[in-house]
Amino acid sequence: MALMKMKFDQKKRVKLAQGLWLMNWLSVLAGIVIFSLGLFLKIELRKRSEVMDNSESHFVPNSLIGVGVLSVVFNSLAGKICYDSLDPVKYAKWRPWLKPYLAVCVLFNIVLFLVSLCCFLMRGSLESTLAHGLKNGMKYYRDTDTPGRCFMKKTIDMLQIEFKCCGNNGFRDWFEIQWISNRYLDFSSKEVKDRIKSNVDGRYLVDGVPFSCCNPNSPRPCIQYQLTNNSAHYSYDHQTEELNLWVLGCRAALLNYYSSLMNSMGAVTLLVWLFEVSITIGLRYLHTALENVSNSEDPECESEGWLLEKSVPETWKAFLESLKKLGKSNQVDAEGAEAGQAPEAG
């Protein structure tokens, strides 16, 4: 028994074809939107590629760009099919290709749904990428004279200013690395010598942060150095004072920014997926309604359209049997090839 059977007369078939034609061209625009969103996300990720550990984060924008292009191609073709379906002569050339085309549309809808899920699920991977990338970026902050790393100081400073953040997890991350270049240290100074000697790795560590960590909204002048020394500053307690620095770590700030972007893009892609599914269902009804026109000389006659020719269990069973037959035919071909090679070997 056919699933979700409906009857169509000539007027309903024409309205269905016209409605699908309009929906397909709207989906072309939706595909352009998805392509643009993927391109925008890719540009945003490339802007901060220096603080990202690997290229896995580009999987989502590349997928959005790919499905956007496919959406434009498939829906343009479907719009042409719907337009030609109004003319029996023009529709005849599409008739053999409609069933394979619908199968491809189903696969495309599955891919589109998976891409929309990836937009929501990439937060964990992005978090680890940012954690390692920011850690390395902060390590190379002082290398302003090293080729290939001389831009890192500007990148980190602009990042902290733009996203109002400091360090990887917080401002204390700067206490654990030497972020001041040796070029700007006076090695004849007793203080510098003592700090370097007191460190096992021979690094110049200070309880200070770069200027880009300063919060301009604070009424007090920014305190960048000796942050943990209460006696170094008037009316100051580092345990209670907000330190007029950005409290949020850059990993959390970037993660929130990119997560909000990808969640929005995932929601848009999910809406486009629902629209694409409705188009595929409409195309299936149009296909079966046109195929079941009993009298081709009488275009006004009624016909039946459906989603599946059989019930869901029967369709699934037929699909599994076709796969078994395909596997057996491949096995027979392989055995035949082996049998043909045996006499040659003899």
Q: Could you give the CA distance from residue 122 to residue 57 in angstroms, rounded to a whole number?
A: 8
Asked whether the predicted pLDDT for residue 256 surpasses 50, the reply is yes
Q: Could you give the CA distance from residue 86 to residue 43 in angstroms, rounded to a whole number?
A: 43
DSSP string covering 86-112: TSHHHHHTTGGGHHHHHHHHHHHHHHH
Convert the pLDDT of each residue in 195-241 to its tens digit: 888 876 788 888 899 999 998 888 888 888 888 887 778 877 776 65
The pLDDT mean for the chain works out to 83
Convert the pLDDT of each residue in 18-30 to its tens digit: 999 999 999 999 9
pTM: 0.80
Asked whether the predicted pLDDT for residue 312 surpasses 60, the reply is no
* CB-based contact 148:65 (threshold 8 Å): no
Convert the pLDDT of each residue in 264-286 to its tens digit: 999 999 999 999 999 998 888 88
Percentage of the chain lying above the pLDDT 70 cut:
82
Identify the pLDDT of residue 230.
79
Cα-based distances in Å from 127 to 39, 52, 184, 256, 259: 21, 10, 34, 10, 10
Count the alpha carbons within 13 Å of 89 in the hemisphere toward its beta carbon.
0
Cα-based distances in Å from 39 to 28, 32, 67, 129, 144: 17, 10, 12, 20, 31
